[in-house]
Amino acid sequence: MDNTNNKICKEFESEMWLILDGSLEKQLQDNWNDHLKICSKCIMTLEEAKETIELYNNLPQENIQNSAFKKMINNAVSSQKNHEVRQYTSSIQKNRSLVEIFGFYRLAFGGSILAAALMFIFITFFNDPKIPEMNTQISNELLGWNTPDINRRLDNVESQIISLQTNDWDIYIVRKNKKEEWNSALRAIQNQIRKMNKEVVSTSM
């Protein structure tokens, strides 16, 4: 019985603060009121707590001087202005320039690399080298295939083709598709020459 009472009284030590706080549910409050009717120990605990709190609350409170308080208010207000300015500047910093973000030298280095890459792409894909109009020249040569010096002319044409493949081809940077076009043109010319050679042979016989 004593143990049960001790347990209840121990519980009261905590819950009495909710009673004093006025935040305990009515049912629980009623239960404690019933307990207090029979428990002098808890009544004493409650009274002592109330008394101590009252004593504490009656102590004079520390105060801050008016002048100091006004100064603090002014400081707080000016601090708020600074705070707003800081917020504004930090929002500006979010939109800062690339130079500020990366630094001048990094930006210059990166810019140079980018410019070089763009130049390479432009030269490779968009700046077509001027290819001499070999087709026209060759066809002009081929137009006179039935002249007496046909073999010499054919040799000239062939040598021109070979020189084109060895020299001009290496000199000019030609895109792959251009190269293929050029190769197919050359193959057509070579076929034409072979055809002409056969005809020459057949006519001479």
Applying CB under 8 A, the residues found at the interface with other proteins are 13-18, 21, 23, 48-49, 51-53, 55-57, 59-64, 68-69, 72-73, 75-77, 79-80, 83
Which of 89, 137 has the CB closer to other proteins?
89
Which of 20, 119 has the CB closer to other proteins?
20
- Name which of 156, 161, 162, 154 is nearest 193 in CA terms: 154
Q: What's the N-to-C CA distance of the chain in angstroms?
A: 143
Which of 22, 148 has the CB closer to other proteins?
22
Shortest distance in whole angstroms from residue 37 CB to other proteins: 22
Identity of residue 69: F
Element (H, E) at 120: helix 104-125
Shortest distance in whole angstroms from residue 90 CB to other proteins: 14
Which of 78, 183 has the CB closer to other proteins?
78
Shortest distance in whole angstroms from residue 32 CB to other proteins: 13
Contact 160, 134 (CB under 8 A): yes
Burial class (CB in 10 A: 0-12, 13-18, 19+), 31: middle
Shortest distance in whole angstroms from residue 92 CB to other proteins: 19
